[in-house]
Amino acid sequence: MDTSGYHVEDRFPPLDDYLHLRQASGLTPFSAEAAAIGLKGTLFGVRVVQDDCIVGMGRIIGDGGCFFQVTDIAVLPEHQGKGLGKRIMAALVAYLRDNAPATAYVSLIADVPANRLYAQFGFEETAPRSVGMAMKIAR
């Protein structure tokens, strides 16, 4: 697995790159308006760059004290399978270890098979004690 030529930066991608990475990697798309508002809630984020192109990202959102959520882990399909997801997670977990209080609740919603990646960093399924739930806003 050759990861030469890639570097992880402690900066989150700008809006257009964020929207592109979500769409291209198969994550649920958001409108530009929603994303512009949501990105303001980023506590910490990283991007993976190769040859001045942003090819991956991940971020942490939350209140900075009690709750932290890992979200937006994405790598462009042509760059997957090279350990970039692991590098993104390592940077996010390092931030959490340095900045989150010991009593903080750190969570994420894992798509299968990405749950195997997250397990490598200490994340465990919470069921049956708790289960992830979601609600879609109907307009």
Residue pLDDT, tens place only, 15-68: 999 999 999 999 999 999 999 999 999 999 999 999 999 999 999 999 999 999
Look at residue 95 and give its three-state secondary structure: helix
| Domains, the chain, with CATH or none | 6-119 (3.40.630.30)
pLDDT tens digits for 9-30? Answer: 999 999 999 999 999 999 999 9
Counting every residue written for the chain, the total comes to 139
Averaged pLDDT score across all residues of the chain: 94
Q: Residue 31 and residue 15: Cα distance in Å, rounded?
A: 10
Band (pLDDT 50/70/90 cuts) for residue 132 is confident
